[in-house]
Amino acid sequence: MLSARIIESSDQDLIQDIIRYNNTQNPIKPWELRVLDPVQKRIEHDFKDKLKVNYQFRRGVGRSGPEDVLCEKLGPWLNSFYGDPTTSHRNSPELFDDEAKYRSLFNDHSDVRHLLFAYRLGEAVAATKDEYRRKVDAETANETEGNLYSYFRYGAFTHVAIYLVGELLAEIFGGGPAVKNRFGLASELEESRGEAIEALTRVVKFALPVIPPELEGQDAYEQIRSKEGIMKLAGRIRASANQFQAVQPETVEALKVAIRVL
Protein backbone atom coordinates (compact mmCIF):
# COMPACT_ATOMS: atom_id res chain seq x y z
CA MET A 1 0.00 0.00 0.00
CA LEU A 2 1.30 3.45 -0.91
CA SER A 3 0.40 6.36 1.33
CA ALA A 4 0.12 9.84 -0.04
CA ARG A 5 -0.88 13.28 1.15
CA ILE A 6 -2.42 15.84 -1.18
CA ILE A 7 -2.10 19.48 -0.20
CA GLU A 8 -3.62 22.23 -2.30
CA SER A 9 -2.49 25.81 -1.90
CA SER A 10 -2.02 28.94 -3.97
CA ASP A 11 0.54 30.29 -1.50
CA GLN A 12 3.88 29.86 -3.28
CA ASP A 13 5.88 30.47 -0.09
CA LEU A 14 3.95 27.71 1.67
CA ILE A 15 4.54 25.35 -1.24
CA GLN A 16 8.27 26.03 -1.12
CA ASP A 17 8.30 25.37 2.64
CA ILE A 18 6.50 22.06 2.13
CA ILE A 19 9.01 21.03 -0.53
CA ARG A 20 11.91 22.10 1.69
CA TYR A 21 10.87 20.38 4.92
CA ASN A 22 8.45 17.57 4.09
CA ASN A 23 10.79 14.89 2.76
CA THR A 24 13.22 13.62 5.37
CA GLN A 25 13.92 10.20 3.84
CA ASN A 26 15.27 11.63 0.59
CA PRO A 27 16.61 15.10 1.37
CA ILE A 28 15.85 17.68 -1.27
CA LYS A 29 18.93 19.16 -2.92
CA PRO A 30 19.21 22.95 -2.84
CA TRP A 31 18.71 23.44 -6.58
CA GLU A 32 15.58 21.26 -6.51
CA LEU A 33 13.87 23.75 -4.21
CA ARG A 34 13.58 25.97 -7.27
CA VAL A 35 11.51 23.43 -9.18
CA LEU A 36 8.45 25.71 -9.20
CA ASP A 37 10.37 28.82 -10.19
CA PRO A 38 8.92 30.07 -13.50
CA VAL A 39 12.41 31.16 -14.54
CA GLN A 40 13.68 27.58 -14.31
CA LYS A 41 10.70 26.30 -16.27
CA ARG A 42 11.33 28.92 -18.95
CA ILE A 43 15.04 28.04 -19.09
CA GLU A 44 14.17 24.35 -19.44
CA HIS A 45 11.81 25.17 -22.31
CA ASP A 46 14.30 27.47 -24.06
CA PHE A 47 17.10 24.91 -23.87
CA LYS A 48 14.87 22.34 -25.53
CA ASP A 49 13.21 24.67 -28.04
CA LYS A 50 16.18 26.81 -29.09
CA LEU A 51 19.17 24.51 -28.60
CA LYS A 52 17.72 20.99 -28.56
CA VAL A 53 19.47 20.42 -25.22
CA ASN A 54 17.94 18.78 -22.15
CA TYR A 55 18.16 20.89 -19.01
CA GLN A 56 17.81 18.99 -15.75
CA PHE A 57 17.00 20.62 -12.43
CA ARG A 58 14.99 17.76 -10.97
CA ARG A 59 15.85 14.21 -10.06
CA GLY A 60 13.66 11.34 -11.14
CA VAL A 61 12.73 12.71 -14.56
CA GLY A 62 15.05 10.42 -16.54
CA ARG A 63 18.72 9.64 -16.81
CA SER A 64 21.04 12.45 -17.73
CA GLY A 65 23.08 12.13 -20.89
CA PRO A 66 26.47 13.65 -21.75
CA GLU A 67 24.83 16.41 -23.81
CA ASP A 68 22.55 17.51 -20.96
CA VAL A 69 23.01 20.63 -18.86
CA LEU A 70 22.65 19.94 -15.13
CA CYS A 71 21.49 22.82 -12.95
CA GLU A 72 23.47 21.52 -9.97
CA LYS A 73 26.71 22.08 -11.93
CA LEU A 74 25.61 25.11 -13.91
CA GLY A 75 24.90 27.25 -10.83
CA PRO A 76 28.38 26.97 -9.27
CA TRP A 77 30.17 27.23 -12.63
CA LEU A 78 28.16 30.31 -13.58
CA ASN A 79 28.79 31.91 -10.20
CA SER A 80 32.54 31.25 -10.54
CA PHE A 81 32.60 32.73 -14.02
CA TYR A 82 30.92 35.91 -12.75
CA GLY A 83 33.57 36.36 -10.07
CA ASP A 84 32.81 34.38 -6.91
CA PRO A 85 34.70 31.07 -7.09
CA THR A 86 35.06 30.94 -3.29
CA THR A 87 31.33 30.56 -2.62
CA SER A 88 30.99 28.09 -5.49
CA HIS A 89 33.56 25.85 -3.85
CA ARG A 90 32.88 26.34 -0.17
CA ASN A 91 29.13 26.87 0.00
CA SER A 92 27.37 26.05 -3.26
CA PRO A 93 23.95 25.53 -1.54
CA GLU A 94 23.93 29.28 -0.82
CA LEU A 95 23.66 29.92 -4.55
CA PHE A 96 20.18 28.44 -4.48
CA ASP A 97 19.14 29.25 -0.90
CA ASP A 98 20.00 32.96 -0.92
CA GLU A 99 17.43 34.80 -3.02
CA ALA A 100 19.69 37.65 -4.10
CA LYS A 101 22.52 35.31 -5.05
CA TYR A 102 20.15 32.98 -6.87
CA ARG A 103 18.56 35.80 -8.87
CA SER A 104 21.98 37.07 -9.89
CA LEU A 105 22.45 33.74 -11.67
CA PHE A 106 18.95 32.84 -12.86
CA ASN A 107 16.49 35.59 -13.76
CA ASP A 108 14.21 36.86 -16.50
CA HIS A 109 17.20 38.01 -18.53
CA SER A 110 19.00 34.63 -18.48
CA ASP A 111 19.81 33.62 -22.05
CA VAL A 112 20.22 29.87 -22.59
CA ARG A 113 22.89 30.54 -25.21
CA HIS A 114 24.99 32.18 -22.48
CA LEU A 115 24.14 29.47 -19.96
CA LEU A 116 25.26 26.82 -22.44
CA PHE A 117 28.53 28.69 -22.95
CA ALA A 118 29.21 28.78 -19.19
CA TYR A 119 28.38 25.10 -18.86
CA ARG A 120 30.61 24.02 -21.74
CA LEU A 121 33.40 26.17 -20.28
CA GLY A 122 33.06 24.28 -17.00
CA GLU A 123 33.28 21.03 -18.96
CA ALA A 124 36.35 22.36 -20.82
CA VAL A 125 38.09 23.12 -17.52
CA ALA A 126 37.27 19.59 -16.36
CA ALA A 127 38.61 18.20 -19.65
CA THR A 128 41.84 20.17 -19.19
CA LYS A 129 42.25 18.74 -15.71
CA ASP A 130 41.74 15.21 -17.06
CA GLU A 131 44.30 15.79 -19.83
CA TYR A 132 46.91 16.97 -17.35
CA ARG A 133 46.15 14.00 -15.07
CA ARG A 134 46.69 11.55 -17.93
CA LYS A 135 49.98 13.21 -18.84
CA VAL A 136 51.18 13.18 -15.24
CA ASP A 137 50.23 9.51 -14.90
CA ALA A 138 52.05 8.70 -18.15
CA GLU A 139 55.03 10.84 -17.09
CA THR A 140 54.74 12.94 -20.27
CA ALA A 141 53.66 16.19 -18.60
CA ASN A 142 55.96 19.18 -18.84
CA GLU A 143 56.72 21.27 -15.76
CA THR A 144 53.85 23.71 -16.31
CA GLU A 145 51.31 20.93 -16.90
CA GLY A 146 52.53 19.11 -13.80
CA ASN A 147 52.22 22.23 -11.69
CA LEU A 148 48.75 23.01 -12.99
CA TYR A 149 47.56 19.49 -12.28
CA SER A 150 48.88 19.78 -8.74
CA TYR A 151 46.64 22.85 -8.33
CA PHE A 152 43.65 21.01 -9.81
CA ARG A 153 43.97 18.49 -7.01
CA TYR A 154 42.57 21.24 -4.78
CA GLY A 155 38.82 21.37 -5.30
CA ALA A 156 38.81 25.17 -5.32
CA PHE A 157 41.05 25.43 -8.37
CA THR A 158 38.42 24.29 -10.88
CA HIS A 159 36.26 27.23 -9.86
CA VAL A 160 39.22 29.62 -9.80
CA ALA A 161 40.17 28.49 -13.31
CA ILE A 162 36.66 29.21 -14.60
CA TYR A 163 36.81 32.68 -13.07
CA LEU A 164 40.26 33.40 -14.52
CA VAL A 165 39.16 32.38 -18.02
CA GLY A 166 36.26 34.79 -17.61
CA GLU A 167 38.68 37.56 -16.70
CA LEU A 168 40.80 36.73 -19.74
CA LEU A 169 37.81 36.88 -22.08
CA ALA A 170 36.48 40.10 -20.58
CA GLU A 171 39.88 41.69 -21.21
CA ILE A 172 40.22 40.32 -24.74
CA PHE A 173 36.74 41.32 -25.86
CA GLY A 174 36.62 44.55 -23.85
CA GLY A 175 33.82 45.65 -21.57
CA GLY A 176 35.14 44.27 -18.30
CA PRO A 177 32.76 42.49 -15.89
CA ALA A 178 29.69 43.93 -17.64
CA VAL A 179 30.30 41.78 -20.70
CA LYS A 180 30.63 38.50 -18.84
CA ASN A 181 26.94 37.60 -18.94
CA ARG A 182 26.81 38.22 -22.69
CA PHE A 183 29.28 35.57 -23.86
CA GLY A 184 27.96 32.75 -25.99
CA LEU A 185 29.39 30.04 -28.19
CA ALA A 186 29.84 30.59 -31.89
CA SER A 187 26.63 29.39 -33.54
CA GLU A 188 28.20 26.33 -35.13
CA LEU A 189 29.54 25.17 -31.76
CA GLU A 190 26.17 25.26 -30.03
CA GLU A 191 25.20 22.10 -31.87
CA SER A 192 28.28 20.05 -30.99
CA ARG A 193 29.28 19.47 -27.39
CA GLY A 194 32.57 17.86 -28.41
CA GLU A 195 33.64 20.68 -30.70
CA ALA A 196 32.58 23.31 -28.16
CA ILE A 197 34.59 21.70 -25.38
CA GLU A 198 37.60 21.30 -27.69
CA ALA A 199 37.48 24.97 -28.70
CA LEU A 200 37.05 26.20 -25.13
CA THR A 201 39.79 23.88 -23.89
CA ARG A 202 42.19 25.80 -26.12
CA VAL A 203 41.11 29.00 -24.35
CA VAL A 204 41.61 27.38 -20.93
CA LYS A 205 45.06 26.10 -21.85
CA PHE A 206 45.97 29.56 -23.16
CA ALA A 207 44.96 31.23 -19.88
CA LEU A 208 46.36 28.94 -17.21
CA PRO A 209 50.12 28.69 -17.95
CA VAL A 210 50.75 32.18 -16.50
CA ILE A 211 49.64 30.91 -13.07
CA PRO A 212 52.59 28.70 -11.95
CA PRO A 213 55.14 31.54 -12.09
CA GLU A 214 52.83 33.65 -9.94
CA LEU A 215 52.55 30.91 -7.31
CA GLU A 216 56.22 29.93 -7.30
CA GLY A 217 57.65 30.01 -3.79
CA GLN A 218 54.22 30.52 -2.21
CA ASP A 219 51.68 28.25 -0.54
CA ALA A 220 49.57 27.50 -3.61
CA TYR A 221 46.74 26.04 -1.54
CA GLU A 222 46.35 29.21 0.52
CA GLN A 223 46.62 31.49 -2.51
CA ILE A 224 43.97 29.57 -4.44
CA ARG A 225 41.58 29.66 -1.49
CA SER A 226 42.07 33.30 -0.50
CA LYS A 227 40.29 36.24 -2.13
CA GLU A 228 43.50 38.26 -2.18
CA GLY A 229 45.42 35.44 -3.87
CA ILE A 230 42.71 34.95 -6.47
CA MET A 231 42.60 38.68 -7.23
CA LYS A 232 46.37 38.69 -7.80
CA LEU A 233 46.03 35.84 -10.26
CA ALA A 234 43.21 37.67 -12.03
CA GLY A 235 45.41 40.74 -12.40
CA ARG A 236 48.16 38.63 -13.92
CA ILE A 237 45.69 37.05 -16.35
CA ARG A 238 44.43 40.43 -17.52
CA ALA A 239 47.99 41.70 -17.97
CA SER A 240 48.94 38.64 -20.01
CA ALA A 241 45.87 39.12 -22.21
CA ASN A 242 46.99 42.65 -23.07
CA GLN A 243 50.55 41.50 -23.69
CA PHE A 244 49.44 38.77 -26.09
CA GLN A 245 47.11 41.14 -27.94
CA ALA A 246 50.06 43.46 -28.49
CA VAL A 247 52.65 40.81 -29.40
CA GLN A 248 50.63 37.92 -30.88
CA PRO A 249 47.28 39.37 -32.02
CA GLU A 250 46.74 36.47 -34.42
CA THR A 251 46.82 33.99 -31.52
CA VAL A 252 44.19 35.96 -29.62
CA GLU A 253 42.00 36.29 -32.70
CA ALA A 254 42.14 32.52 -33.21
CA LEU A 255 40.75 32.04 -29.70
CA LYS A 256 37.96 34.56 -30.23
CA VAL A 257 36.40 32.71 -33.16
CA ALA A 258 34.83 30.15 -30.80
CA ILE A 259 33.02 32.84 -28.83
CA ARG A 260 30.56 35.60 -29.58
CA VAL A 261 29.10 38.44 -27.56
CA LEU A 262 25.32 38.09 -27.51
The overall pTM is greater than 0.75: yes
Quote the pLDDT of residue 36: 73
Quote the pLDDT of residue 5: 57
Q: Which residue type sits at 102?
A: Y
Q: Are 77 and 119 in contact (CB under 8 A)?
A: yes
Assign 175 a pLDDT band (cuts: 50, 70, 90).
Answer: confident
Query: Residue 159 pLDDT more than 90?
Result: yes
Domain ranges in the chain are 41-261
**What average pLDDT does the segment 211-229 reach?**
93
Q: Give the chain's mean pLDDT.
A: 89
Largest CA distance in the chain: 73
Beta strands in 178-227 (DSSP E): 183-185
Rounded to whole angstroms, what are the CA distances from 132 to 10, 129, 138, 154, 162?
52, 5, 10, 14, 16
Query: Residue 187 pLDDT more than 80?
Result: yes
Count of CB atoms within 10 A of residue 96's CB?
23
